[in-house]
Amino acid sequence: MARDLHSTDWELRLGFLIHDVSRLRRSAFDRCLKPLNVTRSQWWVLAYLSREDGMTQSQLAEELDLGKVAVGGLIDRLEKSGLVRREADATDRRVNRVFLEPKSRQLIARMRKVSHRMNAEILAGLANEKLESTAITLDAMKRNLLDYLQTAEA
């Protein structure tokens, strides 16, 4: 019985730690990016497009776990800032694809530098072996969660 209680406490603690670290990291990154005049939502759009330029608005909405209207508003603001452009899909004119503009590539490069400096600070003093082990564990948890969500939808 004591073992089950310990297990439950550990599972709760692990969940809270993951949540807190993620929340605090986002807040720290927001603070670091503030001088660049980029909001969290905007940097997420730019980050996804930097990995897969030309995503559809629907794909972005799904990846960001946002509504299509909210993503549309984000893209409107990024477009006005000259960071992205919309183009109609070549095969389906109802679909808009979003592409990075050259100006955004410079901003993304600056964001990456800020991110590297911040990561160096928050990972200071942690041995590479521990970081690798943590990454492997979190990756396994992510895969398990994705599997869970896929089977739950079926």
Stretches in the chain below the pLDDT threshold 70: 1-8, 154
Q: What is the pLDDT of residue 93?
A: 85
Q: What is the pLDDT of residue 152?
A: 79
Rounded to the nearest 5°, which phi and psi values hold at 99? Answer: -125, 145
CB count within 10 Å of CB 30 equals 13
Residue 150's SS3 state is helix
Q: What is the pLDDT of residue 18?
A: 93
Specify the pTM.
0.75
- How far apart CA 63 and CA 104 sit, in angstroms, is 20
Residue type, 115: S
Q: What is the pLDDT of residue 129?
A: 96
Owner of token pair 């629907």:
58
- How far apart CA 129 and CA 134 sit, in angstroms, is 9
- How far apart CA 131 and CA 143 sit, in angstroms, is 18
Q: What is the pLDDT of residue 99?
A: 97
Q: What is the pLDDT of residue 40?
A: 84
Q: What is the pLDDT of residue 69?
A: 93
